[in-house]
Amino acid sequence: MDGALAGRVILVTGASRGIGAEIARRLASEGAFLALCSRNLDGLNLFASQNGFTEENSFLIAQDLSESTGIDSCAQLVLERFGRIDALVNNVGGATGRGAFLDVSDSDWLKTFETNVLSLVRLAKAFKPHLSRSEYGRIVTISSTTAQEPGQFDPHYSSAKAAVNNLSKHLASIFASDGITVNVISPGPIHTEGLIEFLTGIDAKSSNDGVKESEKFHSNMKSRIPLGNLGSPTDVASLVSFLLSKDASWITGSNFRIDGGKNRGIF
């Protein structure tokens, strides 16, 4: 699909690392002009310098999109730099606070919903008038399979992602008359820097049998995936690229699980 997105202006949020960074690399290879947003300007600058991004094909934005002021600033900067926008790849997300239901505070619930749900609400409001003027108006949000199949921990995160899926279905319906498609991608376990950091963090722990907890955790994840391996950020980026392309012009309101078969549900 080389050049399939040539000339498109696309905002990628949460773009400095992991899935967001790989999406940015893929869309750049397709010829898109990219606005890359993250809270971490140093991380953005490092990513851009290591991957050949220049002022000609990219624009770096350091804003916290869990805050309404961050959304307003991001939207203003994108439109000042490019004068238009064709697609939003809404990858920003994550959980504030981790643990089981009784471990998660009210403030953790609220911040997690602001980060995952209200960011989409505010971005969609800010960019809808401009996306409607594009021939290829697109919104693609990165969710999670935990929205449909929650685990034993981080219920605030899985609940927020379920809300994102519901909201995206609503937006697909009401934005369709303006030619804007809205879709969701729900990854399962993906081998990212975040996962590596998590496993490293529990490496110091070991059970009585001398096996590291990280090894047990990783093995358990793989055992629940029919294809036998964790996913890669490139798997997600390839699907994003397709959903932004002309070939996906009649796809909207859909949720694409990309999880190696981990989720056993038929819907």
Catalytic positions, please? 157
DSSP annotation of 68 reads H
Element (H, E) at 218: helix 213-223
> What count of Cα atoms within 13 Å lies in the side-chain half-sphere of residue 153?
5
Q: How far apart are CA 41 and CA 32, in angstroms?
A: 21
Q: Please give the distance of CA 190 from its chain centroid, rounded to a whole number.
A: 12
The C-alpha angle with vertex 52 and arms to 49 and 56, in degrees rounded to 5, equals 105
Q: Checking phi first, is residue 6 left (phi over 0); if not, alpha (psi -120 to 50) or beta?
A: beta
One-letter amino acid at 35 equals A
Residues in a beta bridge with 90: 141
Q: How far apart are CA 180 and CA 172, in angstroms?
A: 7
Helix ranges (H only) for 54-151 are 68-82, 106-113, 119-131
The C-alpha angle with vertex 64 and arms to 62 and 68, in degrees rounded to 5, equals 125
3-state SS, residue 65: coil
